Structure 1
Amino acid sequence: MKQFLVIVMMIVSFAGISQNSGKAKALLDEVYNKVNSYDNIFVDFKYALSNTKENIYQETRGDVTIQKNKYYFNYLGATQIYDGKKIYTIVPENEEVTIENKDEAEEGTITPSKMLTFYRNGYNYDWDILQNVKGRQIQYVELTPIDSNSEIKQILLGIDAKTKHIYNLIETGKNGTKTTITVNSFKTNQPISKTLFTFDAKKYEDDGYYIIRN
């Protein structure tokens, strides 16, 4: 009888996990479909990195305009442009531009163009807490890397239950480092220049920039 009860409890437990995983995936699918329905997206965000053990805390902000797989990204005083083929990283402080092929620059990283859709592959999903943040209902989904060798322990993805937009991302590394990205402003279908994602090499050469082509 005791063994039978243990088996029943295990079945109930696994059924609950499966149900929660299904709910989480359904919500993430809604987020993905919503993101893909827009012509373009502008995100202004806050980035915070902390490691209590190492006594590290850094905070900064950035913004990115995304149109399909192209993006224009401002962060830490630098600008990065992806035109669909190559990535251009412009650093005014060094008067330097680095030009890279997409695959080389993006290997193993979550790039701006993947910022709102990275969760589609490589993670197990679980339903987490619902939290009231300044009157907004934020539903969290826990993402756990499928790759056991990943340096990421866990990601909590906060989703606005009403708009289905991502509110924040909290990544905890196996080394204890916590990275939090919080969306300050999320705008869609904005009027943007046709040349926003076009890199003009001559302009920077005329300004004396050193251009590195990898």
Structure 2
Amino acid sequence: MSNMNFSKIKYITLLVVAVLSTSSLFAQDAKAKKLLDEVSAKVKSYDNMFIDFKYGLSNEAAGINQETRGDVTLDGDKYKLNLMGTMQMYDGKKLYTIVPEDEEITISTQNPGDDDAITPSKMLTFFNEGYTYKWDIEQNVSGRKIQYVKLVPMDSNSELKSALLGIDAQTKHIYRLIMTQNNGSKITITVNTFKTDQPLPGNLFTFDASKYSDYYINELD
């Protein structure tokens, strides 16, 4: 797999886990902070989470309008993500990126304390700094009250123009994240199914090399 493709998968992982596991932000809007603190407390109360979601990418000027689905299982620092024909699994030490189409696996050592580590625990603080935010619109989605918080990066060089984080006001679960980039692209992640504290197989986050005997394995470190 090329470095460009690997970086793209890491970036998508960052976006996906951010929408599913966001934390409280730097206090700028009292109502927004209270709501986000409630979301954070709810997320942290679960032993594990399974989320099925829809991922959309659009850019009107470029004629792009794509949709796909994905799912992720989160258990502490460990996670297993399926998206765009690629599976990513983090077992607490190593990150495995498995691409069946290319019959290729990339393995890298990850440390949750490293700045570049792509893990759910790091994603919990993804929006902790670097953004301004405020209370935004409210929508009714099939009888559910979805309250949005708008985020704008403080870094003027950021590729992200703004983001809207939609929260179910009753359950305090993330429902949707809409990210608008400066190049006109819009990424939308919508949660279809959210399950918590499920019985998980003991080997769910264990990499079994015998299943991939025909694959090319690229160990980055």
- TM-score w.r.t. the length of structure 1 is 0.83
Q: By how many angstroms is 1:93 displaced?
A: 1.5
SS in 2 for 1:118: coil
Matched, 1:208 2:218: no
d(CA) in 2 for partners of 1:26, 1:149: 29
Which deviations, in whole Å up to 9, do the C-alpha atoms of 1:27-84 show, x marking residues without a partner? 1111111101000000000011111111111110000000112100111112110112
The equivalent position to 1:186 in structure 2, one of 183, 194, 200, is 194
Instruction: Report what 1:16 is aligned to.
Output: none
d(CA) in 2 for partners of 1:171, 1:81: 24
Instruction: Report what 1:131 is aligned to.
Output: 139
d(CA) in 2 for partners of 1:120, 1:31: 14
Structure with the greater alpha carbon radius of gyration: 1
Which deviations, in whole Å up to 9, do the C-alpha atoms of 1:105-137 show, x marking residues without a partner? x97797666666633333212000111111000
Q: Percent identity?
A: 63
Query: Letter of the aligned partner of 1:64 in structure 2?
Result: V
Output aligned runs, 1:1-214, within 5 Å. Answer: 21-102=29-110, 118-204=126-212, 207-214=213-220
CA contact (8 A) 1:116 1:166 kept: no
d(CA) in 1 for partners of 2:83, 2:109: 20
Which deviations, in whole Å up to 9, do the C-alpha atoms of 1:67-104 show, x marking residues without a partner? 1121001111121101122110111122111102336x
Unpaired runs of 5+ residues, structure 2, are 1-26
Please state which structure has a larger fraction of its residues in helix.
1
Q: By how many angstroms is 1:151 displaced?
A: 0.6
Distance verdict in 2 for CA 1:213–1:87, change over 3 Å: same
Distance verdict in 2 for CA 1:193–1:117, change over 3 Å: farther
Instruction: Report what 1:6 is aligned to.
Output: none
* Alignment coverage as a number of residue pairs: 193
d(CA) in 1 for partners of 2:137, 2:56: 21
- TM-score w.r.t. the length of structure 2 is 0.80
Distance verdict in 2 for CA 1:45–1:81, change over 3 Å: same
CA contact (8 A) 2:78 2:119 kept: no
CA contact (8 A) 1:152 1:171 kept: yes
CA contact (8 A) 1:71 1:81 kept: yes
Distance verdict in 2 for CA 1:112–1:36, change over 3 Å: closer
Instruction: Indicate the RMSD between aligned Cα atoms, in angstroms.
Output: 2.3
d(CA) in 1 for partners of 2:137, 2:44: 26
